[in-house]
Amino acid sequence: MAPFNVTGLADAGSVLLFVAIGFAFGYILESSGFGDSRKLTGQFYFTDLAVLKVMFTAVVVAMVGIVWASTAGLLNFDDLWVNHTYVIPGMVGGAIMGVGFVVGGYCPGTSLVSMATLKKDGAVFVLGALLGMFVFGESVEGIIPFMDQTDLGRMTVGDALGVSPGVVAALATALALALFVGADWVKRKLHGTGPEPAPRIGRFTLPAVGAGALSAVVVPLLFISPPSYLDKWEKMTDKHALISDRKVQIDPAELLETMNDDSLRVELLDLRPEPAFNRFHIQEAQRANLEGLAQARQRLTTLPLNTVVVLVDQEEKLSTEGFKLLTAMGVRNVYVLEGGVDHWLHVFEAKPMKPGDGPALGDRWEVSRPDLHHMPHREFEKKIKLATKAKRSGGCG
């Protein structure tokens, strides 16, 4: 799930790595007893709660690790792929999978482990899953309208509650600990049996020591604010030279040429105040501001791969700050109009516009979109180079 690129290992190396990870994962599942359907379904009858405890432990450890890595600047939290939230389809799909889990006794990953150890029920479950995939694949066109209902986009628990990822991690940890204790209490009440005596470290049980250590790691997250995008930019030292060496400041003539290139899509964002924008702006420009850029991250990071994002200011100050922000947000192909609107007007032989000059004609000025074919040739250094980034996604084991 993390945005780590292992494709540099080449095809053979990547295959070997994935096989090794899969083998290790399957071995751990089988050695833990998770290849037995009776152990898996035991959680629904409160006879064996190992699955509940293992899964919640994995969720909490991964969540806390991700938040700390993001806080330390080792991982960009926004680069983690999060499936879109579809409320109604998600509820229906969750109910179907839940019933299948109870009836069949497996989830997809554990069924493959069971089949690999020659268990007949595991093999039957896998065959049933393959049949379900085939039926779904043949009928998916008819249910797409239902699948697309109530799309909330990339939404996390923190987004929904309006709290930081650290607070979510702390709440999830508290919930997990409460469930562990509560599940054992229910098991004892229903079946008269509780967990086996836990190993001790001195005066304390091993689970108590683990809970204390986890709390010591989690509690600080309640008081640590996640790094801002500009904090992330400060850590991206390899990108700073792009600004100082003027690698991303494009000449007005290059922008005009790009706007006339049918193979490219230009996203022109004008960061000037509204009065200046209304008086004059380059054709197809959208008015924006730094605060709005941060809120538009989801849209800007999912633009088509042939999109060039160009930031425009009266000069370059706001555009440079916008470049830092968008780069830290993970937006591709971001450039700054060299010299801003003032330089655009100078290059295309129009009078500079001072505050209050001229009527508010927006993009109806002739110089808003000069005719490329009637412009005198201008030499400039081409700087726009499209960079693509493959989307890395996670899945369910």
Domain 230-374 is found in CATH 3.40.1180.10 = no
Residue 294 vs residue 8, higher pLDDT: 294
Closest residue by Cα to residue 121 from 130, 133, 112: 112
Instruction: Tell me: pLDDT of 265 over 90.
Output: yes
Q: Which of 274-278, 301-305, 357-361 has the lowest mean pLDDT?
A: 357-361
Residue-range domain boundaries for the chain: 7-229, 230-374
pLDDT-above-90 percentage for the chain: 28
Whether 247 has a pLDDT exceeding 80, the answer reads: yes
- The whole-number pLDDT of residue 144 equals 87
Q: At what angle do helices 108-116 and 120-147 cross, to 10 degrees?
A: 160
pLDDT band for position 351 (cuts 50, 70, 90): low
Rounded mean pLDDT, 22-36: 88
> pLDDT category, 391, cuts 50, 70, 90?
very low
Q: What distance in Å separates the CA atoms of residue 137 and residue 115, rounded to the nearest whole number?
A: 23
Supply the pLDDT for residue 2. 44
pLDDT winner (highest mean) among 45-59, 60-74, 131-145, 247-261? 247-261
179 burial level (CB within 10 Å; 0-12, 13-18, 19+): middle
Higher pLDDT, 6 or 386: 386
Q: Which residue has the higher pLDDT, 307 or 352?
A: 307
Mean pLDDT of the region 319-345: 93
- In the predicted structure, residue 384 carries a pLDDT above the cut 90: yes
Mean pLDDT over all residues of the chain? 84
Percentage of the residues of the chain whose pLDDT score is greater than 70:
90
Contacts of 188 (CB under 8 A, 6+ apart): 194
What is residue 29's predicted lDDT score, i.e. its pLDDT?
Answer: 87
Give the per-residue pLDDT at 340.
94
pLDDT at 196: 66
Q: What is the pLDDT of residue 208?
A: 76
Distance between CA atoms of 266 and 310, rounded to whole angstroms? 7
* The pLDDT value given to residue 80: 77
pTM over 0.75? The answer is no
Mean pLDDT within 381-385: 93
pLDDT at 198: 67
CB within 8 Å of 263: residues ≥ 6 apart = 306
Residues 6+ apart with CB under 8 A from 156: 82, 165, 168
Q: What is residue 394's predicted lDDT score, i.e. its pLDDT?
A: 45
Whether the per-residue pLDDT at 393 is higher than 50: the answer is no
pLDDT at 392: 44
Higher local confidence (pLDDT), 202 or 304: 304
pLDDT of residue 357: 66
DSSP 304-329: -TTEEEEEE-SSSHHHHHHHHHHHHH
Q: Which pairing describes strands 286-287 and 200-201: parallel, antiparallel, or unpaired? A: unpaired
Q: How confident is the model at residue 8 (pLDDT cuts 50, 70, 90)?
A: low
Provide the pLDDT for residue 217.
83
